[in-house]
Amino acid sequence: MKELKDMVRENYARIAREGGSCCSPGPLQQAAASRRAGYDDESLLDVPAHADLGLGCGSPLGRAGLRPGEAVLDLGSGPGMDALLAAREVGPDGHVVGVDMTPEMIARAQANATEAKVANVRFLLGELERLPLPDAWADAVISNCVVNLCPDKRAVYAEIFRVLKPGGRVCIADVLQERPLPEEMARDSRAWCA
């Protein structure tokens, strides 16, 4: 498991440093990928261009039903796109925390929040299997194409429910494996991250 996490961390550190993504090599392709994932042009214009790396596979915000004043957790926040959009939805009385295990993504997300002048968001370094938040903190938990990268999904879901307030909501956009992968593909780091 540690080898897999290290591989995923290095892959996303490279993406944070160099730009591009696992799925969309340039800015035009990244914006097109985000549109296909469900983001509208207004949302894409509402965040710095560096916040959209085309890494998502859906838009969890469209169904999360965020309301002003809520506390929102973004799992695997990457460069901060969903966290920044959520921060605007919950308004100045709300708060958003993005958690990511890649220091380079945390730095990029913080820079994007500064550029966007969004004050009600912060980004924490951490792993989804051990979230750096107290019990019953979040009104809503969102995630975009990240849980699939975690080898211990049971631990991730246990943590989601630990930090979620009673009656809270979870909205995850992700990919699912419908059948076992051939062993050589399951061990291929490029296939795991893409």
pLDDT tens digits along 33-81: 666 666 666 666 677 777 777 777 788 998 999 999 999 999 999 999 9
Task: Please tell me the pTM assigned to this model.
Answer: 0.84
Q: CA of 53: how far to CAs of 6, 16, 25, 44, 150, in Å? A: 21, 9, 9, 11, 20
How many residues does this entry show for the chain?
A: 194
84 vs 20, residue with greater confidence? 84
pLDDT at 179 over 80: yes
Distance from C-alpha of 142 to C-alpha of 107, rounded to nearest angstrom? 20
Using a pLDDT cut of 90, give the percent of the chain over it: 55
User: Would you call 180 helix, strand, or coil by DSSP?
Assistant: coil
The residues spanned by each domain of the chain are 2-193
Contacts of 154 (CB under 8 A, 6+ apart): none
Distance from C-alpha of 164 to C-alpha of 139, rounded to nearest angstrom? 6
Sign of CA dihedral 129, 132, 135, 138: negative
Residue 11: per-residue pLDDT: 84
121 vs 16, residue with greater confidence? 121
Half-sphere exposure of 47 (CA within 13 A, CB side): 30
Are the beta carbons of 34 and 52 closer than 8 angstroms?
Answer: yes
Continuous H helices in 19-102: 27-36, 41-45, 61-64, 81-90
In this prediction, residues 144-157 reach a mean pLDDT of: 93
Distance from C-alpha of 79 to C-alpha of 16, rounded to nearest angstrom? 7
Distance from C-alpha of 82 to C-alpha of 172, rounded to nearest angstrom? 12
CA angle, residues 50, 104, 151, in degrees to nearest 5: 110
Instruction: Single out the residue of 58, 52, 54, 50 nearest to residue 25, CA to CA.
Output: 54
Residue 24: per-residue pLDDT: 46
How does pLDDT run across 2-45, given as a tens digit for each residue? 787 888 888 888 888 887 555 545 555 666 666 666 666 666 66
pLDDT at 1 over 90: no
The CATH code that applies to domain 2-193 is 3.40.50.150
Strand partners, 172: 143
